[in-house]
Amino acid sequence: MEYIRAFITGGIICVIAQILMDKTKLMPARVLVIYVVAGTLLTGLGLYDYVVDFGGAGATVPLIGFGYALGNGVMEEVAESGFLGILTGGMKATAGGITAAILFGYLAAIIFDPKAEI
Amino acid sequence: MAYHDNETLKKEYGKLVKQKSPKVTLLKNCLWAFFVGGGICTIGQLLNNGYKALDFSKQEATTLTSVTLIFLGALLTGLDIYDSLGKRAGAGSIVPISGFANSIVAPAIEYKKEGYVFGVGAKIFNIAGPVIIYGMLASIIVGIGYYFFGQ
Amino acid sequence: MEKFIGSQTIQFECPPHILGASSIVGPKEGEGLLKDYFDLILEDALWGEETWEKAESKILKETIHLAIKNAGIAIDDVRYVFSGDLLNQLIASSFAIRSLNKPFFGLFGACSTMGESLILAAMTVEGGFAKYCVASTSSHYCSAEKQFRYPLEFGNQRPPTATWTVTGSGAVVVGNHGQGPVITHVTPGRIIDLGVKDPMNMGAAMAPAAADTIVTHLKDTNRKPSDYDMIATGDLGSVGKELALELVKKQGYDIEQVYTDCGVEIYESDKQDTHAGGSGCGCSAVTLTGYLLKSMKAKRYNRILFIPTGALLSTTSANEGESIPGIAHGVVLENIE
């Protein structure tokens, strides 16, 4: 059941992005920006928790979940270390993902060459 | 008078273009996005449960899941598979965190020929940069809100 | 004697000849509808080079050499080279022509460059400023994608109005005497912009320019569409082709019987997943030097109006919200006895 909920939640989040891309001519990068910002703000308002409770990875794996991590991270950090947490919380909570992306991106650049599309 | 100053003509032409341009196959695109996006999230759930079973904390399991999906996205990008998937799946493969990895790995590979500093280093966040910038800015807003009103 | 007629057209007194032509294309074009017409089909889009840009330069350079050989002259006989491409600062052309050791005019007409270079080469030859000139252009799917859109490995989706940049190059040797079809008229085009902003629908952006040049040409020369065996626009693709047809019809000319578009001719759209068709400088160039000129040689067509079309945008202008200006240059090719 958990898996079905993750599947449906993730699927619906992707479909909304697809509709945004197809209907409004929004470029992928813009949709991703909208998702991250929306995820962060919804988390700040305490609304995204409901989606995560229902969908699990279906809510955290899409990029909107990256916003969820940012939002939660900054709030936890503010609760713990006060004002300075505003600046450190977001980056701290997402450090693993961003650093991993840089590492794997760099390694991929060393290993692979661009291939022509045919 | 040059054509581009003629607003009526431009409006008329805009209508004609709309009429003659084939529409995107929205339903098909959405089905692809739903199943691929849902599928990637299900794999994420599987990984998450797996890491939890290995006695990682909830927080650690979430991070490890992201890192694993980022690794898979990077690998499939390098193997020239992720972009073929993206052609069909659209948002279904762009929106999950593996797509975030794709958007970082793709320019890194492409610009390698322009050097490791000005190519890979400078261009690696070509597409994903705005996501991080706006994500961080949004987190600052949430942080300020939480500091003053939340606690 | 004056050689200009109507508002934009030039009528040559001693029409210059196309002495030789050549086409080299990438693997995808080599599987398309015109595969039997190209001089060389590459198995690998890199052609042994390190980068897409170097590969494009090599394709262009070899195409020019081949055209000179096909014309039966030596490189030393060529006086000027007119060439251009899509890459910033025309690097494909500059680096290709660097080794030719010939005076070079670098042209930017986006995908209309084959028309622009042909017109200038023909005028130079007919004006008595040179005996032989080369007109050429190139484009490469991978270098164009990298510059204008996304890195190749990025998993983005292409809308049905998008076109596929042709990997290939076409070159023509224009001379003042000899064998081969002649260029009787040319109609350099105006910049026409009807406000299309979607870079994924270039056919729509360029169609008004194509229509304008076709109508102006017919008016200037007092000709009817049926005076031509074929009217071939550059790279409008299936969407732009329909639009151009409609726009020309609105101005009182029905060209449907003789009209085609190089972007529609070059690929097998359904099978090759090219959506609206081919585009890029190479699209009209290889269709001309492959299909059109070889068909003329076989006398299947004897008088063609060739109209390469270009979209004069850059990533900067697109980001800044500008619309896409279009341009189209007309060249009349004719078999003479």
pLDDT digits (tens, 9 = 90+) for B77-122: 999 999 999 999 999 999 999 999 999 999 999 999 999 999 999 9
Contacts B24 to C, Cβ<8 Å: 159-160
C239-264 average pLDDT score: 96
> Which tokens is A22 given?
């197809």
**pTM score:** 0.95
pLDDT higher than threshold 90 for residue C331: yes
Per-residue pLDDT, C66: 98
- Residue C201 sits at the chain B interface (C-beta within 8 Å): yes
pLDDT higher than threshold 70 for residue A60: yes
> Which tokens is C221 given?
């020369």
Distance CA C76, CA A9 (A): 69
pLDDT higher than threshold 90 for residue B1: no
Q: Which of B4, B17, B110 sits opposite C243 (nearest CB)?
A: B17
Q: Which of residues 61-120 of B touch A (CB under 8 A)?
A: 62-63, 65-67, 69-71, 74-75, 77-80, 83, 90-92, 94-97, 99-101, 103-105, 108-110, 112, 116, 120
Residue C326 C-alpha, separation from nearest chain B C-alpha, in angstroms: 11
* Sole residue written with tokens 């039997």: C36
Distance CA C106, CA C92 (A): 10
Strands C303-307 and C230-233: parallel
Distance CA C31, CA C218 (A): 35
> Which tokens is C117 given?
């270079």
> Which tokens is A39 given?
């995820």
CB contact under 8 A, A118 and C198: no
Per-residue pLDDT, C267: 96
> Which tokens is C123 given?
């005028």
CA-to-CA dists, residue C179 to C70, C174, C175, C302, C304, angstroms? 12, 11, 9, 14, 17
Sign of CA dihedral A34, B94, C152, B27: negative
pLDDT one-digit tens code per residue, C271-281: 999 999 999 99
DSSP E strands in A10-117: the ranges are none
CB contact under 8 A, B83 and C154: yes
Distance CA C335, CA C17 (A): 10
Superfamily of domain C4-175: Stage V sporulation protein AD (3.40.47.40)
CB contact under 8 A, A114 and C142: yes
How many other C-beta atoms lie within 10 A of the C-beta of residue B11?
12
CB contact under 8 A, A114 and C141: no
- Residue C196 sits at the chain B interface (C-beta within 8 Å): yes
User: Searching chain C, which residue's CA lies closest to the CA of residue B89?
Assistant: C157
Architecture of domain C182-334: 3-Layer(aba) Sandwich (3.40)
Q: Which of A57, A79, A113 sits opposite B44 (nearest CB)?
A: A57
Looking at the DSSP bridge assignments, the partners of residue A85 are: none
pLDDT higher than threshold 50 for residue C311: yes
Distance CA B97, CA B116 (A): 25
Per-residue pLDDT, B2: 64
CA-to-CA dists, residue B99 to A61, A73, B150, angstroms? 10, 22, 33
Distance CA C296, CA C303 (A): 8
CB contact under 8 A, C152 and B85: no
List, as one string, the DSSP characters of B41-100.
HHHHHHHHHHHHHTT--HHHHHHHHHHHHHHHHHHHHHTT-HHHHHHHHTHHHHSBHHHH
∠C103-C109-C110 over CA atoms, to 5°? Answer: 120
User: Searching chain B, which residue's CA lies closest to the CA of residue A87?
Assistant: B140
Residue A16 C-alpha, separation from nearest chain B C-alpha, in angstroms: 8
CA-to-CA dists, residue C233 to B24, C215, C222, angstroms? 25, 13, 20
Mutate one of A23, A31, A104, A118 to test the C interface: name it (highest C CB count within 10 A): A118
> A18, B91 in Cβ contact below 8 A?
yes
- Residue B86 sits at the chain C interface (C-beta within 8 Å): yes
pLDDT higher than threshold 70 for residue C319: yes
User: Searching chain B, which residue's CA lies closest to the CA of residue C146?
Assistant: B110
Residue C170 host element (H or E): strand C168-175
Q: Which of C151, C192, C243 sits opposite B109 (nearest CB)?
A: C151
> C261, C233 in Cβ contact below 8 A?
yes
> B74, B58 in Cβ contact below 8 A?
no
Q: Which of C307, C64, C77 is nearest to C178 (CA)?
A: C77
Confidence of residue A1 (pLDDT cuts 50, 70, 90): confident
C22-50 average pLDDT score: 96
**Helix residue ranges per DSSP H, chain C:** 52-70, 91-97, 113-126, 141-148, 202-221, 237-250, 262-266, 269-272, 281-286, 293-297, 315-319
Q: What are phi and psi of A82, to 5 degrees?
A: 75, -145
- Residue C256 sits at the chain A interface (C-beta within 8 Å): no
Distance CA C331, CA C186 (A): 4
Per-residue pLDDT, A24: 86
CA-to-CA dists, residue A20 to A14, A23, C275, angstroms? 10, 5, 21
The domain limits of chain A are 2-111
Distance CA A110, CA C90 (A): 29
Mutate one of C54, C148, C153, C201 to test the A interface: name it (highest A CB count within 10 A): C153
CB contact under 8 A, B108 and A9: no
> C274, C164 in Cβ contact below 8 A?
yes
> C171, C67 in Cβ contact below 8 A?
yes
* Sole residue written with tokens 């999230």: B41
Confidence of residue A117 (pLDDT cuts 50, 70, 90): confident
Q: Half-sphere exposure (CA, 13 Å, Cβ side) for C149? A: 21
- Poorest-pLDDT segment among A14-28, A100-114, C26-40, C97-111: A14-28
Confidence of residue A105 (pLDDT cuts 50, 70, 90): very high
Q: What are phi and psi of A54, to 5 degrees?
A: -80, -50
Please state, rounded to an integer, the average pLDDT across all residues of chain C.
96
In C151-178, which positions are buried (b, 16+ CB within 10 angstroms) versus exposed (e)?
Answer: bbbbbbbbbebbbbbbbbbbbbbbbbeb
Contacts B97 to C, Cβ<8 Å: none
Q: Which of residues 57-96 of C touch A (CB under 8 A)?
A: none
Please state, rounded to an integer, the average pLDDT across all residues of chain A.
94
> B74, B80 in Cβ contact below 8 A?
no
> Which tokens is C20 given?
């030789």
Q: What are phi and psi of C283, to 5 degrees?
A: -60, -60
Confidence of residue B6 (pLDDT cuts 50, 70, 90): confident
CA-to-CA dists, residue C202 to A69, B61, C196, C279, angstroms? 40, 47, 8, 9
Q: Which of B4, B22, B111 sits opposite C161 (nearest CB)?
A: B22
Q: Half-sphere exposure (CA, 13 Å, Cβ side) for B95? A: 39
Per-residue pLDDT, B150: 79
